[in-house]
């Protein structure tokens, strides 16, 4: 069965899922996106992702290409046509096709595309080993809260991580403060057992998984605080982990050359990994 994608009102074979060369997404990265996990046939945190999509569009003054209810229908239809039960759905909206010129075109219609991809569910094996991150200088713009398709610094950072065999790169600003990962939010557990993650603001993307994990941590009675933390503090931490819709809760056991804790995923990371796995099948699942 060949993969089906959605392009501006049509369900098309993936190989012919095309947009025009003068789409402003292609020319200027003038667009936004969302990635929603599909677990056991259900969308995880759909409402949060669609709320963030609306917010990103509003910030860039791009008109929503369709109503929320229509979008939800298309998402489900795409899952059905692809018989997708485990993976992700990718949604991208751009300002549309127009003759190349920087200011907003007066008459462009926003473009919307959706694709799906297979992806395995959270793998408990990662609790045995964990992953590594490397630090990279924060070189991004001042509106990282907008989920824009303009991801060049993130692409370069992720490549740098891959080249040294690390899973993720953490952006670190001039003051030594960790912003977030190239495609994940960053968390630590301090020596005295406090769970720490940076507050939302213009410097980071307000992760939907981050918000859900914060809520789960509260319910678990884990002591937590939203505050910025430095790379130096992270390297001294008892635990570290990252979250995203595609990485779920992923323990980190090394940051640059520093081994975290005893080099194995710690107990708070394990608890939250498990809590999030349960959440994906229960409360967080939307049919
Ligand atoms: N930060 C960045 C820069 C990201 O690209 C992502 C993934 N979209 C996240 C954080 C995590 O967000 P979410 O939990 O909504 O996937």
- Reported as a single tens digit per residue, the pLDDT across 205-258 is 999 999 999 999 999 999 999 999 999 999 999 999 999 999 999 999 999 999
Element (H, E) at 226: strand 224-226
Ligand 1 atom at minimal distance to the Cα of residue 245: 16
Quickly count: other Cβ atoms within 10 Å of residue 278's Cβ: 11
Q: Which of the residues 131, 147, 158, 235 is marked catalytic?
A: 147
222 in Cβ contact with 270 (< 8 Å): no
Q: How many whole angstroms from 3 Cα to the centroid of ligand 1?
A: 25
Assigned token pair, 2: 């060949």
Q: Is the CB of 157 under 6 A from ligand 1?
A: no
Ligand 1 atom at minimal distance to the Cα of residue 52: 15
CA-CA distance, 150 to 158, in Å (whole number)? 14
Q: Is the CB of 180 under 6 A from ligand 1?
A: yes
Nearest 10 degrees: CA dihedral of 56, 59, 63, 66?
Answer: 20
Q: Which residues of the chain have pLDDT under 50?
A: none
Same fold, 4-118 and 126-286: no
What integer pLDDT is reported at residue 234 of this predicted model? Answer: 98
Q: Is the CB of 250 under 6 A from ligand 1?
A: no
Using one digit for the tens of pLDDT, what is the confidence trace for 90-115? 999 999 999 999 999 999 999 999 99
What integer pLDDT is reported at residue 286 of this predicted model? Answer: 80
Domain residue extents for the chain: 4-118, 126-286
The residue whose CA is least distant from atom 3 of ligand 1 is: 183
Whether residue 147 lies in the annotated active site: yes
Ligand 1 atom at minimal distance to the Cα of residue 182: 3
Ligand 1 atom at minimal distance to the Cα of residue 34: 8
**Strand ranges, E, within 74-167:** 87-94, 111-118, 131-137
Q: How many whole angstroms from 266 Cα to the centroid of ligand 1?
A: 22
User: Which class is domain 4-118?
Assistant: alpha beta
The DSSP bridge partners found for residue 251 are 241
What integer pLDDT is reported at residue 155 of this predicted model? Answer: 98
Does the 126-286 domain belong in CATH 3.20.10.10?
A: yes
**Strand ranges, E, within 64-211:** 87-94, 111-118, 131-137, 168-172, 178-181, 185-189, 195-197
The residue whose CA is least distant from atom 4 of ligand 1 is: 183
CA-CA distance, 13 to 140, in Å (whole number)? 35
> Angle between the 208-219 and 46-60 helix axes, to the nearest 10 degrees?
140
Q: Is the CB of 148 under 6 A from ligand 1?
A: no
What integer pLDDT is reported at residue 79 of this predicted model? Answer: 98
Name 79's Cβ contacts closer than 8 Å, sequence gap at least 6: 38, 41, 43, 89, 116
Q: Is the CB of 50 under 6 A from ligand 1?
A: no
């Amino acid at each position: 069965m060949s993969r089906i994608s959605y392009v501006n009102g049509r369900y098309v074979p993936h190989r012919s899922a095309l947009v025009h060369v003068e789409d402003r997404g292609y020319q200027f990265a003038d667009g936004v996106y969302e990635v929603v996990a599909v677990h056991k046939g259900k969308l995880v945190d759909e409402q949060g992702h669609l709320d963030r999509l609306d917010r990103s569009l509003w910030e860039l003054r791009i008109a929503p290409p369709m109503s929320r209810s229509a979008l939800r229908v298309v998402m489900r239809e795409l899952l059905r046509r692809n018989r997708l039960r485990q993976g992700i759905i990718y949604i991208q909206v751009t300002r549309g096709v127009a003759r190349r010129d920087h200011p907003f075109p007066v008459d462009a219609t926003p473009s919307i595309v959706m694709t799906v991809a297979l992806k395995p569910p959270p793998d408990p094996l990662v609790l045995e080993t964990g992953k590594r991150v490397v630090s990279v200088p924060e070189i991004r713009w001042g509106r990282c809260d907008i989920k824009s398709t303009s991801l060049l610094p993130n692409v370069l950072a992720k490549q740098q991580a891959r080249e040294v065999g690390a899973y993720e790169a953490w952006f670190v600003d001039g003051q030594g403060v960790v912003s977030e990962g190239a495609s994940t939010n960053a968390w630590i557990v301090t020596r005295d057992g406090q769970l720490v993650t940076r507050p939302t603001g213009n410097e980071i993307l307000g992760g939907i998984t981050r918000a859900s994990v914060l809520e789960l941590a509260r319910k678990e009675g884990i002591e937590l605080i939203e505050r910025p933390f430095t790379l130096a503090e992270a390297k001294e931490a008892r635990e570290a982990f990252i979250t995203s819709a595609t990485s779920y809760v992923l323990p980190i056991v090394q940051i640059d050359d520093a081994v975290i804790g005893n080099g194995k995923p710690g107990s708070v990371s394990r608890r939250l990994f498990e809590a999030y796995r349960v959440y994906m099948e229960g409360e967080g699942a939307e049919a």
